[in-house]
Amino acid sequence: MTEKWTDKMGKKALRRYRFTLTLKIIRVLLIILFIGVIYQMVLQISYSKTDNQEKLQTYAQLAAEWTMPGVMVDRHGNFGDISALMTERTLIDLKKRVGSADKGIGTREIHKPLVTSFTRIDDTINDQDVYSEYQFYLPYDPRTDNQLAASSGEVVWETLERLHEGTVTEIAFSFDEYYRTEEVMEIFDDYDLTVSWLPLYMGELKNFDTDWSAGGDTLRVDPWGLSSAQYFDENWRNHQTGYLSLGNIEEVETQMIHNMNLLYEEDESLAEAMFQVPKFEERVEFLEEEGFKVYGAVVTGPSKELLKLQEEEMIRGEQIGPIEYWNWSPTY
């Protein structure tokens, strides 16, 4: 005798079906999750065995140190990984030297997808009191050779005059001419200070077009600068730093050209994406053919020692940066 189908039986069967379906969905999701975790682990392990993380950090380090006046990079213990979509990510620490002490100012995070041209750079500045966005003024208009001016910096000397002698600070300024690096370092060698960064003229607006800004009879371009010489091994690991000084300026210049060629020849797309400017190759060619032409500086040291620089007629467009209590003990 066939049992009569009832609504109660239908509801029970429906519940059983829903339960079975839910279990199947959960099982599939768990399998997908498990596969995803295994995939990410294998991907991360494989990535860690390559030099890609160190390479990306090298590009990020040099981009920061060459285009952020007075900024240095600390790569010790820096973070790096790769996402399931093959986007490489790394984080470097940014710092500045004020007097003889290094002060952390923030971080730079790099996201490099498979399409290198879409690389994203995110800067997080945690200490605006230490980080200063300096402006450097060209002494001549590259398009006309007309002499240019710079904004007044009289307030800088007044500030240094008022500061207590037990302080150190950082100042930046432009020059009235283009000078050879050796000339600049010989002048500064007579002072008790440290040269952190030197803006370089690389043929902008003469050999190639680039972004610029002007006001009155002043003209500025986004500066690249000469900083410490960085040495890397075959695995892109930073193993030596040569600081700017009169005794090793030729070595620092040679290493900068070497590193620029290394970055461009190794990965042209990444070089242009990381520095966020075109004409990377033209800049290298200018330095190789014309040499290093400096039109300003970032220096740090005792406040009263920096005050003495007002006697140098070549200096103009002065700007003052962070001020700290005495910590001066120069080592280079």
Convert the pLDDT of each residue in 139-166 to its tens digit: 999 999 999 988 876 789 999 999 999 9
Query: What's the pLDDT at 40?
Result: 78
Asked if residue 5 has pLDDT above 80, the reply is no
Would the pLDDT of 278 be above 80?
no
- Comparing 32-46, 92-106, 228-242, 274-288, which segment has the lowest mean pLDDT? 32-46
Between these two residues, 283 and 36, which has the higher pLDDT value? 283
Decide: 170 and 331 in contact? Cβ < 8 Å: no
Average pLDDT estimate for 240-266: 91
pLDDT at 109 over 80: yes
Q: Mind listing the pLDDT tens digit for each residue in 51-60?
A: 888 899 999 9
Q: How confident is the model at residue 3 (pLDDT cuts 50, 70, 90)?
A: low
Over residues 100-119, the mean pLDDT reads 91
Asked if the model's pLDDT at residue 243 lies above 90, the reply is: no
Annotated domain spans of the chain: 9-49, 52-125, 154-325
Q: What is the pTM of this model?
A: 0.86
Residue 205 has pLDDT above 70, yes or no: yes
**pLDDT band with cut points at 50, 70 and 90 for residue 292:** very high
For 73, 120, 234, 239, the CA distances from 262, given in Å and listed in that order, are 19, 21, 11, 16
By mean pLDDT, which of 1-15, 113-127, 263-277 is the weakest?
1-15
**pLDDT of the residue at 331:** 62
Contact of 170 with 324, CB cutoff 8 Å: no
Is residue 226 pLDDT above 60, yes or no? yes
- Averaged over 160-183, what is the pLDDT? 95
Determine the pLDDT at residue 7: 67
Q: Are 170 and 159 in contact (CB under 8 A)?
A: no
Q: Are 299 and 188 in contact (CB under 8 A)?
A: yes
Residue 20's pLDDT is 83
Q: Please give the pLDDT value at position 241.
A: 82
CA distance readout (Å), 305 to 190, 251, 318:
11, 27, 15
Please, which residues have CB within 8 angstroms of residue 20's CB and are 6 or more apart in sequence? none
The predicted pLDDT at position 168 comes to 96
Q: Which residue has the tokens 């520095």?
A: 275
pLDDT above 90 as % of the chain: 58
At 36 the pLDDT is: 79
